[in-house]
Amino acid sequence: MSKNKLTAKQEMFCREYIIDFNATQAAIRAGYSEKTADRIGHQNLNKIEIMNRVNELSGERTQRVQFDADEVLRRLAILSRSNIKNFAKPDGHGGLTMHVPDDISDDDMYCISELTTEEYDVKDGEGTIPVKKTKIKFVDKLKATEVAGKHVGVQAFAEKKEVGVTDDLKDTLDKMSDKQLASKLAFVLASGLGE
């Protein structure tokens, strides 16, 4: 869809909408009245030309940043498969010491959300022993697994939702071709608007 078929305000709405996928705020930022922004935002999202332009802009952004659904899923898989054993070594007293290996992989480093090191001396008889304490905080592995599971359709993470459809929306959907309907549905699901 060419952006020339949209008004300047509609084009601005599309550009603002892909920032945060909030139709009301996008309408306000595009110059629509705050009093009618909620209604206008909703109406705009029901216009095929506008949704096609939003999809086009979203696709362009994905190409620019080279961060698509496959990349998101790959990173979630890395987080889900992270293993604390990669950071633990025997301490010589039957326990484990946490450390960051010199040859840490990018994937292992990606799993760390916080890393702090504290150095201090401990008295040992007549002298002191230098101690280096490393604290490693990992990302939430369960959350990463849950998000990845929802993405690939693991039914354990599925949520049932009932959706009511207004007569206007039903009429709009009935007028769409299968291709247009599939495109709009894919956009809604990908942007989280269906939640």
Task: State whether 113 and 152 are in the same domain.
Answer: no
Does residue 186 sit in the same domain as residue 108? no
Q: CA-CA distance, 67 to 53, in Å (whole number)?
A: 20
- Give the mean model confidence (pLDDT) for residues 73-102: 81
**184/150 Cα distance (integer angstroms):** 20
Q: What is the mean pLDDT of the chain?
A: 81
Least confident of 5-9, 117-121, 175-179: 175-179
Tokens in use for 122?
């401990």
pLDDT one-digit tens code per residue, 134-156: 788 888 888 888 877 776 766 65
Residue 193 has pLDDT above 60, yes or no: no
Please name the helix (run of DSSP H) or strand (run of DSSP E) that holds residue 104, with its range, or none: none
pTM as predicted: 0.43
Please tell me whether residues 62 and 72 are part of one structural domain.
Answer: no
CB of 119 within 8 A of CB of 132?
A: yes
Verify that 73 and 151 share a domain, yes or no: yes
- Do 9 and 36 belong to one domain? yes
